[in-house]
Amino acid sequence: MTYAKSPYQNRIKLYSDGADRAQLLEMNTNSAISGMTTNPSLMKKAGVKNYKEFCQEILTHITVKPISFEVFADDISEMKRQALEIAKWGKNIYVKIPVMNTRKESTMGLVRELSQSGVKLNITALFTLNQVMETCQAVKGGAPALVSVFAGRIADTGRDPMPLMKASSEICHSTGPGVELLWASTREAFNIVQAEESGCDIITAPVDVLKKISGFNKDLFEMSLDTIKMFKADSESAGFQL
């Protein structure tokens, strides 16, 4: 069997997803990376202790590329306060607002208010087409906004995210300029191809996934040989014997 080359055309913007300081600074200097996204869970994993200090220190280095920082309040009014505070830290900031809180209360009213007041937003944790439609209506005519659909987590449920992402692309692009669809919760390098084919404007992915782009269209026979060489080197370095 022969395999077609990757159809990836480098038309989609690549964002790095994570909160590791060293990786954020590395991606900031990488011309192939257009922006960065973070979230509270990634910050906890990276060992961040002081949210504000971490963000503001990072912003002394990342001053041009867009970067998303998320509110962590669960009360809508406190979300607003946090969003307005975060937005003050830099012109390249997109404030992440979840599509609802833990009590299932929609944040669309807040999203509309912030967007119309000029706050750039990244509306996050979207999983349904209805959520995409409501979000696009809320940001229509407002500040630039990212509509983050968690395609990877949808795939984790055994569902193909491509139909939803294609439909979401049509909705976002018909909303008006400044509204971009973002493929979130990336699991593997092929998701980059899928995101581009579905019409997404952006895909955000962990650094280790983004680095796999360099292997796109690599000869598969050579990949087989490289894998076998790896097994040999690892077994030798481990000192395995029978």
Rounded Cα–Cα distance for residues 111 and 132 (Å): 13
Helix (H, G, I), strand (E, B) or coil at 185: coil
Rounded Cα–Cα distance for residues 109 and 130 (Å): 15
Active site residue 211: no
Burial (0-12, 13-18, 19+ Cβ within 10 Å), 152? middle
The answer to whether 170 touches 199, Cβ cutoff 8 Å, is yes
Q: Which of 96, 211, 229, 232 is catalytic?
A: 96
The answer to whether 199 touches 183, Cβ cutoff 8 Å, is no
pLDDT, one tens digit for every residue, the chain (242 residues): 667 889 999 999 999 999 999 999 999 999 999 999 999 999 999 999 999 999 999 999 999 999 999 999 999 999 999 999 999 999 999 999 999 999 999 999 999 999 999 999 999 999 999 999 999 999 999 999 999 999 999 999 999 999 999 999 999 999 999 999 999 999 999 999 999 999 999 999 999 999 999 999 999 999 999 999 999 999 999 999 99
For 168-182, how does the pLDDT look when each residue is reduced to its tens digit (9 = 90+)? 999 999 999 999 999
Rounded Cα–Cα distance for residues 173 and 103 (Å): 30
Q: Which residues are within 8 A (CB) of 88 and not within 5 positions of it... i.e. 6 or more apart?
A: none
Q: Which residues are within 8 A (CB) of 205 and not within 5 positions of it... i.e. 6 or more apart?
A: 14, 15, 16, 17, 186, 191, 192
CA angle 161, 164, 165 (to 5 degrees): 80
Between β-strands 145-149 and 179-183, what pairing exists: parallel, antiparallel or unpaired? parallel
Is CATH 3.20.20.70 correct for 13-234? yes
